[in-house]
Amino acid sequence: MKVRFMKLSQLSAIIFSILSAAPAFAHEYWLSPVNYQVESGEKIAAHFRNGEEFTGAAFPYLPNRLTRFEVKIGGKEVPLSPRAGDSPALSLPAPEGDALVVAVAETTPSKVTYEDFDKFLRFAKHKDFPKAESDHRANGWSTEKVVESYTRHVKTLIALGAGAGQDAPNGMATEFVALTNPYAADFAGKMKVALLYQGTPRANAQIEVFDRAPDDSVTITLHRTDAAGEALVPVTAGHEYLFDAVVLRAAAEAQASAGYDPDQPVWETLWATLTFAVPQ
């Protein structure tokens, strides 16, 4: 039997076409650990996933799709040496000790084209940007075709042993920072997070929370950051969580005139996600 292997460029093109073909409305992208709690000698491993309602296909490591991919164990960065096509995308041996493992990744820009302006407006409404339509029209941008550029800024929390430690800002364009550690022995069932954009807290910003129960059912709730850019979200032991927040801004390529190129993005979205689990 002959086994044919795809070149990285072929594999990347297929995956890119799948992701690009999927409508951007309510599609999340996240780091999905194989296990949220690991012991020394086991594997710290995670897939990239893209989908809806906390369910999605797993994708391998593709270096040309990422601008950043890092892991910190106990606050110290550890070297990664993934190879193109690795699945899980993240896989490294767990060292000895008790520590909070924080993995982060940022993607290269991708594009999506809306040929239905109402669909774009539904997306903007869902992600809590009520001024999108008025700003779009004020800039004189076409409503026949709307091109959006988007990037993903993802983080996951894994417990090594007891998972002792604390998350911290990682300098991503937008990110969640866990202000409480869900693996700590004194965790009281409320996850406190800060939401940052360009290093600055995002006040009064929407956070969409996906809560997966042990029976795989998913509950979705909306929350909002306070004036300090922080939110306190009740969570349940034995459940897995995905926090999602989106920045919508005018794209750098856009021109506020009739002379802009309609094939270039006029809007840009930056998606921040955080995944973790709460131990039983």
Residues 161 and 158: their CA atoms lie apart, in Å, by 9
The predicted-structure confidence for 180-202, as pLDDT tens digits, reads as follows 999 999 999 999 999 999 999 99
Closest CA to 238 of 258, 212, 220: 212
Q: How many CA atoms lie within 13 A of 110 on its CB side?
A: 23
The predicted-structure confidence for 217-247, as pLDDT tens digits, reads as follows 999 999 999 999 999 999 999 999 999 999 9
Residue whose entry in the numeric block shows the structure tokens 């869900």: 182
**Both structure tokens of 147:** 């091109």
* Confidence (pLDDT) at 83: 96
Residues 241 and 218: their CA atoms lie apart, in Å, by 9
* Confidence (pLDDT) at 262: 80
Q: How many CA atoms lie within 13 A of 125 on its CB side?
A: 7
Closest CA to 212 of 24, 18, 23, 33: 33
Residues 15 and 32: their CA atoms lie apart, in Å, by 17
Q: Which amino acid is at 53?
A: E
Q: How many CB atoms lie within 10 A of CB 11?
A: 16
Does 259 score more than 70 pLDDT? Answer: no
End-to-end CA distance of the chain: 47
Query: Pairing relation of β-strands 200-201 and 76-78?
Result: unpaired
The predicted-structure confidence for 81-113, as pLDDT tens digits, reads as follows 999 999 999 999 999 999 999 999 999 999 999
Q: Residue-wise over 248-259: b if at least 16 C-beta within 10 A, else e?
A: bebbeebeeeee
* Confidence (pLDDT) at 263: 86
The predicted-structure confidence for 141-182, as pLDDT tens digits, reads as follows 999 999 999 999 999 999 999 999 999 999 999 999 999 999
* Confidence (pLDDT) at 27: 86
Percentage of residues in the chain having pLDDT higher than 90: 85
Q: Are 140 and 257 in contact (CB under 8 A)?
A: yes
